[in-house]
Structures are given as C-alpha cells and as structure tokens.
Structure 1
Amino acid sequence: MLQISTGPEQLWEVDYRAANTITLNNEPFAWDIADLGEGRFHVLHEGRSYNAEVVSTDFTTKNIVLKVNGQRIELNAKDRFDLLLERLGMSDATAAKVNELKAPMPGLIVDIRVTPGQTVQKGDPLLVLEAMKMENILKAPADGTVGSLKVNLRDNVQKGQVLVQFS
C-alpha cells in the first residue's frame, strides 16, 4: 500500500499488490495502459483518454513529476514504513548525517547543479542523472556542504557509485 499526495488536501491510498489489480481508496481502479516508450504512456479510464509522461523521479524522497495531458503533476509517495515512522513521530529519523550521495541506478550525468564548498539544504537539486531516457533529479538527502564531486558532466555511472561527498 502506498499513500500518494499531490498536496496537503489531495491524498489517495493505492494498493497494487494483487496481480494487475489496483485499488484507489479501497475501490477497484479499472484502467487500460499502453507503454509508448521513453517514459510515455497512454491511459484509458472511465471512457476518457489520457497522455501521461514521467518527467522526473527522485527515489530518495519518493517524488515523481508527471505530465498528464500537458498538465504538470507532482506526486509524493509514502510506503508503510514512512507512514509508521510518521505515526511514531520519527519522520525525520532519516535526516541523520549523510556523508555521500550514491547513484540509485546506472546512467549518464547530464547536469551538475552544485560546486564544492556550496551549502545545500535537504531536497536541493545536486545532479541530473539520465537513465532509460528519463531525467532523474538527484537531491540533497540532508542539509550539508558539498565536499567534492566525484563525477563530471557526461560521465557514465554505475548503481551505487559515489557521486557527491559531503564535508
């Protein structure tokens, strides 16, 4: 189960565990989806047609930016562990001291938005990693200072490779 939000008043519970079955707020969600490639999809739901594109994903903060019929939508996902930490008052428990940022997947560095010595806050964009023709903005996992960049523009990186070290 995931809790998906597009803002403080837009909240949905999505369950996707059953094979090819999705429930939205405990109601069956009937749709037909066609993968058009390169992060683009065609969706049919309740007789209406939607064109969807994945603009960016940030797996650290579980943020996804979509474009649906030309409209930009920012989604934030919380899994059961995030919700449990939130209920226990520990939602900031993951904001501990972070020494480095590693590549979440293999890809190509297409933009570097920070320099060594720069102070960053949690969520600030650091790098843009292109993977499977989608741009993924890698953001600061915590407040800190960029110690050094371990990659250069247009470098190919592997999953788990250190990209940024914090001081």
Structure 2
Amino acid sequence: MQVGAKFTVVVLGAGGDNKHYQIEVTDYDQNNRSSAVTVNGKTYYISSRAGLGDIRVQGEVNDKPFTAQLERGTAKNPLALRVIHNGTQIDALVLSPRGAELHQLMPFKAPPDLSKFLLSPMPGLLVDVAVQPGQKVQSGEKLAVIEAMKMENILFAAQDGVVSKVVATKGESLAVDQVIIEFE
C-alpha cells in the first residue's frame, strides 16, 4: 500500500446502476497494519491483521470493531469482491481511476429472463417428469425429479403457469442450468 495511491471502488448494482467511490490512501503504517483512507472526502482510520487470502476480515474502523466476510469473484463478475457484513451483501470492483472511467463506458448487459424455464439446479439423472405440454401447474406442484449422488431431488413449480414444452427426457443426464421444461 502506498501513501497517495488512488482507487475507485465501484459498487455493482443489480440493474447496472453502479455507484463509484473515490478512495485515496492518506497514511499507511506497515508495522501496525493500519492506514488512513479518504472516501469521497471523508477520512477513515482502518486497522486489520487480515491477509490477502483471508476470507474473514476483522479489524477496526475509526476505533469501532468490525468483522466481514470477503469472497473473491462472483458468478456474474470473476473480478469482483463480494463483501458480507451485518447481513448486507455488496459486490464491488476495486479499480484504478482510469479503469473506473473505462468501466463506465462498458454497456450494461441485462441477464436473460429465465422465469419461463425450469433449469436443472445440479448435474444429475432426470428420473421423472411429472407434467405434460399444455398442462396447467400450480405453485408448489411437483414438476420433475433429478437423481444426484444417489439422492432424489424433487423440483417444484415456483409459480402458477402452463407447460409449453418438455425439453429434457426421462433418463437423460442433465448438466447444471440445462433447460428441463419451458412455460408459456
């Protein structure tokens, strides 16, 4: 960590509505593993014995203790950090100021709408499909059964709907996120 180093933390919003925070390291003491950082003009004094590979981070911010969980890489962004603290979860990127400028120019790609599909939550063998095309299903109704690791996992309807198409066949080996059933 270098005094004077500047970063931009981009907190990733679900709909592409990201928030940018300008960070500057204003003081750093390697012996005490403490630093002072300025976030959008406000200074915070941080101390922590956590290392780069630690999942649980403990320390103090302005003399108040904190504990947080850090996960590196998320399903949506392998470069992101997921921070979980007091029941709140955020995904963020730590970038150079120039990297943050370039990140703002990236178009937001909305995730595909998968609400009309039943996807396999795990790899396994499809042992039963309990519905037919054209059938009306109620929320909570049994749709399919997957066998994985010698255990049968029953998949239920999350909402009311009408089966449009049964894509997978009984006895088929399924991959994660493979479409089993399409709904209208």
Settle same-fold status: TM greater than 0.5. Answer: no
Considering Cα pairs closer than 8 Å and 6+ residues apart, tell me whether 1 or 2 has the greater RCO.
1
Larger Rg: 2
TM-score grouping bracket, smaller chain normalisation = 0.3 to 0.5
TM-score, scaled relative to structure 1 = 0.42
Task: Please give the TM-score of this superposition, normalised by the length of structure 2.
Answer: 0.38
